[in-house]
Amino acid sequence: MRSIRKPTRASRLVALLTVPTALLLGALPTLASPAENGQVEPSRKSSTEQNGVALMRIVAADKGEVDRLADLGVDLVEYNKPLEDGIEVHAVLSPEETTALRAMGFDVQGKISDQDDYRANVAERKAAIAAVDAAALDNDQLTVLRAEWFTSLDGNRFLSFEVKSDAGADSATVITASWDTGMDTPPASGGTATMSRFTDAGQYMYHRFTSPLALTTAEPNRVTFTSSKGGTVKASVTQWLGKPKEAPDEHYVSDFVDHYMDPTEITERIVGLAAEFPKITQIIDLPNLTNGYRRKAQAQFGTAAASTIYVTTKAWGHEGGNDTSVSLINPGAANQPLTVLVAGKTVIVSLATNGTGALTSTAAQVVAALNADAASSALLTASTYRGNAGAGLVATAGATRLSDNLQAPPSISREPFQMKALRIGRAKDGSKPGVYLYCQQHAREWVTPITCLETAERLLRNYEQDTKTRNLVNGLDIFILPVVNPDGAHYSMYDFNSQRKNMTNHCPDATGDPANRNSWGVDLNRNQNVGSFYDGYNGASSSCTSGTYAGPSEQSEPEAKNEDWLINTYPNIKFSMNTHSYGGYFMWAPGAYKTAGREVLPRTDFGTENFFWNASSKILNAVQSHRGTAIWPGRTGPTTDVLYSAAGNSADAHWYNKGIIAWNFEVGADKYNPATNQWEAVGFQPDFSEGHEEAMEFSSGQIAILEVAKAYAADKSKPTAELVVKSKGAGTTDFTFATSEAANVYYTLDGTEPTTSSLKLGFAGYREGPERITITAKTTVRWLAVDIAGNLGTVQEKVLNVPKS
């Protein structure tokens, strides 16, 4: 049998027409089989040149003529089309064969295709195969982390996707997302968009949209991610949030804040609340007084750095420093020495002169004279400007009153501040799970203290008539610290609204001049003792003027000591929430990494991470219930995954030191402006109309945290875990586990009894599902689930087989 060319797809539908080589006639010598007549291989079969063989169209007069062609051994193909005047058949012919057939009277017409077509096809095929092979070599593996849509303020709908490529470290890796418009709709009918490559500390994290994409069509059902490296993956698109918390009963009262409040006012308010609700409250005076809203008095003289000096009183401004004055005078005579005269709090520096009466005292000399004089140095310290050698000549200055530059009215105390926490609960004896809600670590985040205050007031004023509130207060031990940073907060409200840190000035002379006064202070969310700057972690600074100054040592600050004291004194605290602004984030540990290699603090385990995510949906649905604000999925998760590294932050200290389930809020989610198609940030101090709404929605979130804590305390049910086989291949079986609730799974592969010391199910990767476990031989798997409340499941067992390799 000879092989038959199959030039068209349609032709294959017809039975093959072949002819025995024995029937070939001498009229077509080139068709003879070499096996029959000993000739050389016919030229048409050359595998290289092929000598013009082509697929030719022949019109036969009738069926008899077709039969005759067949009898001649012509290479007819599976095509037979009746025409008006005959039958069209196709044959594969060399030019010689064509000539011979025409000579025999057959109507051989033109070519259908020839070697040029063939060569083009071969070339095209080769290129296609090469492309496929190249792609096969490089094809990246895409892992979908999250694919969600959600509604936010005003009912606008958005898409949020996250996908990780194993080639993502290459900045040339481009991933596009295409989504449909619902079940059974075309794959890209919703749209297509290029994603952003998200990197942090020089490391690739995943691809995402930098902000959620406005959705203009119906909600998608499926999304396809395609990488420029050849990888592709599909995923279902699920709804994020959108399950509003059930509306409170109509008697539920809320909305207790109607203006931004300073720490003095807030503290008076919680003291008043405690007096009003004595049975279910207690005021806790935290043991470390703050530095206080106070400064030393200062003045600076001079314009050029080399000739400038500044002085700082020993006394606080309000304790006499502000009564001090300094003048730099010309003695009015030649050849006078540099002298310092002190009378009471008046300091007069008489500058030296030369023989012509010109002033000759340098800044360094004046500083030395002031500091050497006993009476002067008892009042103040003099310094050259920012470490300058001070070789410039000092100019005269009239009597200048020193000032602490503080603008708050006298009603704001300049004394060290007594921080007060409000404890709410019926038991208050350590027998109930503790929840610690704290706000305004950062002074300029004005919405946060009123959020904590609103929560306290809702709990107290609804206690009598609202069953749910009563259950929370009776079942929990709640600690609310509305202002962690009272000194800085007073400074933010009265002096410098962008103040972030506390008011403790650890700066040396070189940075202690009055123009630096808005840069002093310690970042209280960088002063804790886990994953700190001093441990080598990223996101804090040793510079006393940096916005993220870690302080001279871990827990150097009274405010940080107080936080630590609270969680140590009340070991029943199991949950905490550190409320900041802005941006709309919901975050948890780990919150810091070392820059080199982006070495992250230990990730929470599988069960805890799932607990965090499960709690997220409850807490963030509560936030959304107030006015529709959705915290983005991309702003939910471990701090290091969604924001940055914050060395020495409080939530990490709570989790790693005490095992406290510790969250961070950033109130003030970005708002979408449909007119510009932009997300707009709200800032630290929005108009109160906006700040009020933020306080209301995040107070609802804080209440939901209490509900999560209450549910945790009430959880007595045994978790279960199911073994799920994911894939079987030659010689291997992959499996994982699915749990009935957030729980850890401990397992053995040797038939022994699993305990909490056994192998522990982990994550496949951050923001991914559970890992897959691979076995290569028949294995008895035994496992045990343990939930976050410590409930143990029953040991289960399954024998897994492995297909033969």
Do 549 and 522 form a contact (C-beta atoms < 8 A)? yes
Least separation in angstroms between CB 445 and Zn ion:
5
What x/- string results for residues 420 through 449 when contact with Zn ion is judged by CB under 5 A? ----------------------x-------
Total residues interacting with Zn ion, rule: CB under 5 A: 2
- Among 480-488, 574-582, 721-729, 756-764, the segment contacting Zn ion (CB under 5 A): 574-582
Rounded-to-5 percentages of helix, strand, coil across the chain: 30, 30, 40
Q: Pull the structure tokens for residue 477.
A: 């031990």
What x/- string results for residues 383 through 422 when contact with Zn ion is judged by CB under 5 A? ----------------------------------------
The residues that bridge with 179 in the sheet, in sequence order, are 191, 223
* Cis ω before 582 (30° cut-off from 0): yes
- Region of 66 on the Ramachandran plot (φ > 0 left; ψ -120 to 50 alpha; else beta): alpha
- Reference 559, options 476, 442, 662; nearest CA is 442
- Give whichever of 143 and 562 is closer to Zn ion, judged by the CB atom: 562
- Give whichever of 432 and 442 is closer to Zn ion, judged by the CB atom: 442
Q: Angle at Cα 655 formed by Cα 650 and Cα 661, nearest 5°?
A: 105
Least separation in angstroms between CB 717 and Zn ion:
37
* 137-196 residues near Zn ion, rule: CB under 5 A: none
- Among 70-78, 200-208, 248-256, 580-588, the segment contacting Zn ion (CB under 5 A): 580-588
Least separation in angstroms between CB 621 and Zn ion:
24
Least separation in angstroms between CB 586 and Zn ion:
14
- Give whichever of 585 and 737 is closer to Zn ion, judged by the CB atom: 585
- Among 126-134, 215-223, 573-581, 691-699, the segment contacting Zn ion (CB under 5 A): 573-581
- Give whichever of 580 and 635 is closer to Zn ion, judged by the CB atom: 580
Least separation in angstroms between CB 493 and Zn ion:
16
Do 714 and 697 form a contact (C-beta atoms < 8 A)? no
Do 309 and 390 form a contact (C-beta atoms < 8 A)? yes
- Give whichever of 197 and 580 is closer to Zn ion, judged by the CB atom: 580
d(CA 502, CA 508): 17
Least separation in angstroms between CB 269 and Zn ion:
22
Q: Which residues contact 122 (CB under 8 A, 6 or more apart)?
A: none
Least separation in angstroms between CB 581 and Zn ion:
7
Least separation in angstroms between CB 580 and Zn ion:
3
- Among 284-292, 459-467, 572-580, 591-599, the segment contacting Zn ion (CB under 5 A): 572-580
- Give whichever of 455 and 578 is closer to Zn ion, judged by the CB atom: 578
* 533-562 residues near Zn ion, rule: CB under 5 A: none
- Among 34-42, 575-583, 693-701, 719-727, the segment contacting Zn ion (CB under 5 A): 575-583
* 442-481 residues near Zn ion, rule: CB under 5 A: 442
- Give whichever of 488 and 531 is closer to Zn ion, judged by the CB atom: 488
- Give whichever of 376 and 448 is closer to Zn ion, judged by the CB atom: 448
Strands (E), 555-641: 573-583, 585-588, 593-594, 599-600, 636-638
Least separation in angstroms between CB 450 and Zn ion:
15
Q: Does 767 help bind Zn ion (rule: CB under 5 A)?
A: no
Least separation in angstroms between CB 407 and Zn ion:
23
Dihedral, CA of residue 65, residue 66, residue 67 and residue 72, to nearest 10: 90
d(CA 212, CA 182): 19
d(CA 701, CA 663): 11
* 505-534 residues near Zn ion, rule: CB under 5 A: none
Q: Pull the structure tokens for residue 688.
A: 């109160």
Strand bridging mode 203-208 / 196-200 = antiparallel
d(CA 173, CA 83): 57
Q: Identify residue 756 by its one-letter amino acid code.
A: T
Least separation in angstroms between CB 498 and Zn ion:
12
Q: Pull the structure tokens for residue 738.
A: 């699915």
- Give whichever of 318 and 442 is closer to Zn ion, judged by the CB atom: 442
d(CA 215, CA 238): 14
d(CA 159, CA 504): 45
- Give whichever of 394 and 489 is closer to Zn ion, judged by the CB atom: 489
- Give whichever of 350 and 448 is closer to Zn ion, judged by the CB atom: 448
Burial (CB < 10 A; 0-12, 13-18, 19+), residue 591, is buried
Least separation in angstroms between CB 291 and Zn ion:
19
Least separation in angstroms between CB 448 and Zn ion:
8
Strand bridging mode 434-439 / 397-401 = unpaired
d(CA 795, CA 747): 9
Helices (H), ranges, 396-513? 447-461, 467-475, 486-494
- Reference 515, options 298, 316, 295; nearest CA is 298
- Give whichever of 442 and 490 is closer to Zn ion, judged by the CB atom: 442
- Reference 98, options 142, 140, 51; nearest CA is 51
Least separation in angstroms between CB 653 and Zn ion:
15
Do 514 and 539 form a contact (C-beta atoms < 8 A)? no
- Give whichever of 442 and 526 is closer to Zn ion, judged by the CB atom: 442
- Give whichever of 349 and 623 is closer to Zn ion, judged by the CB atom: 623
- Give whichever of 581 and 700 is closer to Zn ion, judged by the CB atom: 581
- Give whichever of 294 and 442 is closer to Zn ion, judged by the CB atom: 442
- Give whichever of 373 and 445 is closer to Zn ion, judged by the CB atom: 445
d(CA 159, CA 166): 23
- Give whichever of 300 and 649 is closer to Zn ion, judged by the CB atom: 649
Q: Does 580 help bind Zn ion (rule: CB under 5 A)?
A: yes
Least separation in angstroms between CB 441 and Zn ion:
6
What x/- string results for residues 720 through 739 when contact with Zn ion is judged by CB under 5 A? --------------------
- Among 452-460, 578-586, 708-716, 757-765, the segment contacting Zn ion (CB under 5 A): 578-586
Dihedral, CA of residue 551, residue 557, residue 562 and residue 564, to nearest 10: 30
Q: Does 782 help bind Zn ion (rule: CB under 5 A)?
A: no
d(CA 274, CA 420): 11
What x/- string results for residues 220 through 259 when contact with Zn ion is judged by CB under 5 A? ----------------------------------------
d(CA 42, CA 489): 98
CA atoms within 13 A on the CB side of 226: 12
Least separation in angstroms between CB 684 and Zn ion:
9
Least separation in angstroms between CB 442 and Zn ion:
3
Strand bridging mode 585-588 / 661-669 = antiparallel
- Among 235-243, 463-471, 547-555, 576-584, the segment contacting Zn ion (CB under 5 A): 576-584
Least separation in angstroms between CB 605 and Zn ion:
28
CA distances from 77 to 42, 53, 112, 228, 461 (A): 19, 14, 12, 43, 92
Residue 162 CA, distance from chain mean position: 10
Do 632 and 212 form a contact (C-beta atoms < 8 A)? yes
The residues that bridge with 721 in the sheet, in sequence order, are 739
The binding site for Zn ion (CB under 5 A) comprises 442, 580
